[in-house]
């Protein structure tokens, strides 16, 4: 088997990949209930002030703050309650000196009032309250536009929509939102050794249950895409070529697993004009890319690594996604060594500000992925990190 004579440094390969792709122009209008995880196609500008009026932030009494300045528990101030309202109602009374309006949290402030006294700070007898403590102007009041002002950009193009983003949009009166079309991603699995159904005799005879398809289609969905599975293709040059050409014609990206090296049964690279083939990442060194096709490894851990270091960034470029990775600082619980010249992907378990490296090694050890919830990256010019050293962890 022909080995890689040179390896493209990770960052250089990533730049070649991203420079080769252009953001998708197509958009679609979705109801907010369907927009979770989608990528905004344009800036969102608030059409209103939110809240749209001054409102009470507590249950209590709307009043003139000046009427309370002399109030003390040992010398309370008496005010007359002239109205009572709940949230969603509007008082027709005007608060004059010596008066107050009882109201609930969220209720609109009545005319003349400039503060709200928490109900615990008053004693009531009939329509008279005894104010036990003073309040300042504006105290316990949520002012119009305090959350969002009319004309303000509340969400920027490229935002990956979260539940809280959708709640904000709903509170501003939006029913639908414009998002980027999902990129179509063809997934092709190759290998004579793979079977799709459990067969004990076949497994004893050297076959392997295929698992990359469900992992890759799940990752594609997680990172903005719509997967299209083309099945498990045998190591036959004609069959592999036909599958790649069909997938290229029907998708924005194509992922081909297996056959990423230069063995006699490695055919994928023969059908792609590659920008790079063989990079410094570990695991997953034999990855290749060109013509919107990723030539990936067959081993699941290598495939997972290749996806996170390359494919997810490609998908983010296609939809213009911003802030699509969650990264946290963590202290390593033990030393992590690396080989100079390799860009290492190290699986860790992150918890309570600490990152514990996963000891299980090997590109075929799927349980090492299950036992991790993030990874750290060690660049080519580093021999690793010391125990107790702070590192960036990318969560998945």
Given a cut of 50, is residue 305 above it in pLDDT?
Answer: yes
What pLDDT does residue 264 have? 63
List own/partner pairs for 98-105 with CB under 8 A and 24 or more apart.
Answer: 98/67, 99/63, 100/61, 100/62, 100/63, 100/129, 101/61, 101/62, 101/63, 102/60, 102/61, 102/62, 103/56, 103/59, 103/60, 103/61, 103/62, 104/56, 104/59, 105/56, 105/57, 105/58, 105/59
Question: Two tokens at 285?
Answer: 């060194």
What is the arithmetic mean of pLDDT over 45-55?
96
Residues forming CATH 3.40.980.10 domain(s) in the chain: 10-23+182-319
Of 87, 20, 79, 21, give the one whose Cα is nearest residue 53.
Answer: 87
10-23+182-319 CATH pick, 3.40.980.10, 3.10.310.30, 3.10.450.100, 3.10.50.40? 3.40.980.10
Please tell me what DSSP assigns to residue 200: H
Q: Which residues pair with 56 in a beta bridge?
A: 141
Q: What are phi and psi of 222, to 5 degrees?
A: -65, -30
Lowest mean pLDDT, pick from 4-18, 128-142, 264-278, 290-304:
264-278
pLDDT-derived band at 5, boundaries 50, 70, 90: confident
Lowest mean pLDDT, pick from 148-162, 171-185, 266-280:
266-280
- Cα 196 from chain centroid (whole Å): 32
Task: Check if the beta carbon of residue 66 is closer than 8 Å to that of residue 126.
Answer: no
Q: Which residues pair with 317 in a beta bridge?
A: none
What is the arithmetic mean of pLDDT over 29-52?
97
What is the arithmetic mean of pLDDT over 350-355?
98
Q: Provide the CATH topology of domain 327-395.
A: Beta-clip (2.40.340)
CATH of domain 55-142: 2.170.190.11
Percent of the chain past pLDDT 70, that is, above it, reads 98
What pLDDT does residue 2 have? 52
Residues forming CATH 2.40.340.10 domain(s) in the chain: 327-395
Given a cut of 80, is residue 265 above it in pLDDT?
Answer: no
Would you call the peptide bond into 99 cis, given omega within 30 degrees of 0 as the criterion?
no
Given a cut of 90, is residue 1 above it in pLDDT?
Answer: no
Whole-angstrom Cα distance, residue 296 to residue 303?
6
27-50+146-180 CATH pick, 3.30.1310.10, 3.90.105.10, 1.20.1250.20, 3.30.365.10? 3.90.105.10
Strands in 60-63's sheet, in edge-to-edge order, are 115-118, 60-63, 99-103, 77-85, 128-131, 122-125
Given a cut of 80, is residue 316 above it in pLDDT?
Answer: yes
**CB within 8 Å of 359: residues ≥ 6 apart:** none
What pLDDT does residue 267 have? 87
- By the 10 Å C-beta count (0-12 exposed, 13-18 middle, 19+ buried), 201 is classed as exposed
What is the arithmetic mean of pLDDT over 389-396?
98
**pLDDT tens digit sequence for 171-208:** 999 999 999 999 999 999 999 999 989 999 898 999 99
Residues forming CATH 3.90.105.10 domain(s) in the chain: 27-50+146-180
What is the arithmetic mean of pLDDT over 214-241?
97
Whole-angstrom Cα distance, residue 257 to residue 274?
15
What pLDDT does residue 259 have? 75
Question: Two tokens at 215?
Answer: 């992992």
What is the arithmetic mean of pLDDT over 236-243?
96
Whole-angstrom Cα distance, residue 268 to residue 291?
12
Q: Which residues pair with 131 in a beta bridge?
A: 77, 122
How does the average pLDDT of the chain come out, rounded?
Answer: 96
Percent of the chain past pLDDT 90, that is, above it, reads 93
Given a cut of 70, is residue 3 above it in pLDDT?
Answer: no
Residues forming CATH 2.170.190.11 domain(s) in the chain: 55-142
Question: Two tokens at 383?
Answer: 């021999």
Helix (H, G, I), strand (E, B) or coil at 234: coil
What is the arithmetic mean of pLDDT over 200-218?
94
């Amino acid at each position: 088997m022909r080995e890689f004579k040179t390896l493209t440094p990770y960052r250089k390969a990533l730049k070649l990949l991203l420079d080769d792709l252009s953001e998708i122009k197509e958009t679609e209008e979705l109801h907010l209930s369907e927009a979770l995880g989608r990528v905004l196609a344009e800036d969102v500008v608030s059409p209103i002030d939110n809240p749209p009026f001054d409102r009470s932030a507590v249950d209590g009494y709307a009043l003139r703050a000046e009427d309370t300045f002399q109030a003390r528990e040992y010398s309370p101030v008496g005010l007359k309650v002239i109205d009572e309202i709940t949230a969603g109602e509007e008082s027709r009374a005007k608060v004059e000196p010596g008066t107050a309006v009882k109201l609930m949290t969220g209720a609109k402030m009545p005319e003349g009032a400039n503060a709200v006294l928490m109900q615990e700070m008053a004693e009531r007898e009939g329509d008279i309250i005894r104010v036990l403590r003073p309040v300042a102007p504006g105290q316990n009041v949520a002012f119009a536009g305090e959350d969002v002002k009319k004309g303000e950009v509340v969400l920027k193009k490229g935002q990956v929509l979260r539940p809280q983003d959708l709640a904000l949009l709903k509170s501003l009166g939006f029913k639908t939102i414009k998002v980027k079309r999902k990129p179509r991603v063809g997934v092709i699995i190759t290998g004579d050794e793979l079977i799709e159904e459990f067969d004990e005799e076949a497994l004893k005879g050297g076959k392997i249950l295929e698992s990359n398809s469900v992992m890759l289609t799940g990752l594609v969905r997680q990172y903005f895409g719509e997967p299209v599975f083309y099945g498990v293709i045998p190591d036959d040059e004609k069959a592999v070529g036909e599958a790649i050409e069909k997938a290229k014609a029907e998708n924005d990206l194509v992922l081909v697993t297996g056959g990423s090296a230069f063995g006699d049964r490695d055919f994928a690279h023969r059908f792609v004009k590659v920008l790079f083939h063989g990079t410094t990442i570990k695991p997953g060194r034999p990855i290749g890319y060109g013509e919107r096709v990723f030539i990936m490894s067959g081993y699941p851990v290598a495939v997972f690594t290749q996806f996170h270091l390359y494919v997810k960034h490609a998908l983010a470029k296609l939809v213009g996604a911003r802030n699509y990775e969650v990264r946290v600082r963590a202290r390593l619980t033990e030393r992590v060594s690396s080989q100079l010249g390799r860009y290492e992907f190290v699986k860790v378990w992150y918890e309570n500000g600490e990152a514990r490296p996963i000891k299980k090694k090997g590109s075929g050890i799927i349980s090492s992925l299950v036992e991790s919830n993030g990874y750290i990256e060690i660049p080519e010019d580093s021999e690793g990190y010391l125990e107790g050293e702070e590192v960036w962890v990318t969560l998945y």
